């Protein structure tokens, strides 16, 4: 099911993090980001530097079908990864979204553990809930990817269970095989508390030191 024709790719701006519609102009930065260190990509497909151009073209082809809205993740002015909205679901008989997934996410090694992922996910969640008025946002990962599962829980995703042989595996050496997927969600009713908690954390980090 495609995104409604009225949905256009937004530019999302946050604290040191900016999400821009993925474009060829991001290729050089993403090529550098993808090669910093690949130790964390055991369960996630991330293009090699020489594959980034084709990767962007493939994401654009998916976007042309209406199934995907891809972004470059910009941190302090440089492209450090990618993410996307995907798999839109519409209310029966209405050209309006009730659910969407956040996925196709990867980050350069230097951006991992910095808060970039959390801030980017909250930008995407906020836009989905506050602009599109969706009722639900899905997030999923390889069930074996405990690092990714912990990251999803940090942004407020609630674990719903594991679906066996749910989607293709991206793990090296598992081409043509299926993986078990750990499923998470955030509901519209949960978003205000998640947003408030993140704002309090940001305020604490930005508060002047006492003494």
Please give the angle made by the CA atoms of 100, 135 and 181, to the nearest 5 degrees.
45
pLDDT at 211: 41
Q: What is the pLDDT of residue 198?
A: 85
CA 56 to chain centre: 15
pLDDT attached to residue 131 = 96
pLDDT of residue 98: 97
The values of phi and psi at residue 155, to 5°, are -85, 0
Flag residues of the chain having pLDDT under 70: 203-211
């Amino acid at each position: 099911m495609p995104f409604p024709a009225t949905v256009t790719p937004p530019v999302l701006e946050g604290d040191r993090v900016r999400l821009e519609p993925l474009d060829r102009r991001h290729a050089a930065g993403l090529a550098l980001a993808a090669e910093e260190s690949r130790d964390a990509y055991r369960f996630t497909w991330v293009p090699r530097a020489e594959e980034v151009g084709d990767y962007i073209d493939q994401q654009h082809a998916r976007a042309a079908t209406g199934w995907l809205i891809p972004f470059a993740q910009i941190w302090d002015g440089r492209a450090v990864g990618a993410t996307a909205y995907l798999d839109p679901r519409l209310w029966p008989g209405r050209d309006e979204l009730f659910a969407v997934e956040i996925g196709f996410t990867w980050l350069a090694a230097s951006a991992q553990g910095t808060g970039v992922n959390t801030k980017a996910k909250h930008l995407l969640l906020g836009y989905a809930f506050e602009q599109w008025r969706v009722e639900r946002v899905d997030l999923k990962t390889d069930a074996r990817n405990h690092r990714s599962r912990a990251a999803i829980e940090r942004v407020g995703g609630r674990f719903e269970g594991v679906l066996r042989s749910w989607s293709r595996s991206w793990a090296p050496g598992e081409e043509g095989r299926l993986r078990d997927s750990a499923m998470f969600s955030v509901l519209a009713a949960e978003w205000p508390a998640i947003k408030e908690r993140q704002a309090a954390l940001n305020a604490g980090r930005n508060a002047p030191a006492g003494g």
